[in-house]
Amino acid sequence: MSLALQIRSKDASETRKVSVDYTDKLDSSETLTGSVTVAEQDTSDLTLSGAGINSGSVEINGRTVAASESIYFTVAGGSAGKVYTVQITVATDASQTFVDDVKLQVN
């Protein structure tokens, strides 16, 4: 699964929680650890907050994802009709650092 191909959507007036599954990027028995950084690329239209690593199992796109294998953040704002890029940086307990872009469509 390529994180860059995952496109999420929200209405301009909504505040939404976004979750990103890292299962397919992690090596066997590797987990996410530390702080999660999220940053909007190219504009400052979005308000991003509350980034973290899921401490329990969650369902993302119909798939159950184990604890410490996905991240979440809250997003508000944006202009209808625009697609935004949010860059996520997160580390693992195997000393890897993932830097990935996800797309967010605002309706």
State whether the Cα torsion 51-53-57-58 is positive or negative.
positive
State percent of the chain over pLDDT 90. 87
C-beta contacts of 24-28 below 8 A and 24+ residues apart: 25/1, 25/98, 26/69, 26/92, 27/94, 27/96
Name the stretches of the chain with pLDDT < 70.
1-7
Helix (H) or strand (E) holding 98: strand 97-106
26: Cβ contacts below 8 Å, ≥ 6 apart: 32, 69, 92
Residue 6 is predicted with a pLDDT of 54
pLDDT tens per residue, range 22-50 = 999 999 999 999 999 999 999 999 999 99
Residue 7 is predicted with a pLDDT of 60
Rounded to an integer, what distance in angstroms lies between the CA atom of residue 86 and that of residue 104?
Answer: 7
pTM: 0.89
Residue 103 is predicted with a pLDDT of 93
Residue 5 is predicted with a pLDDT of 43
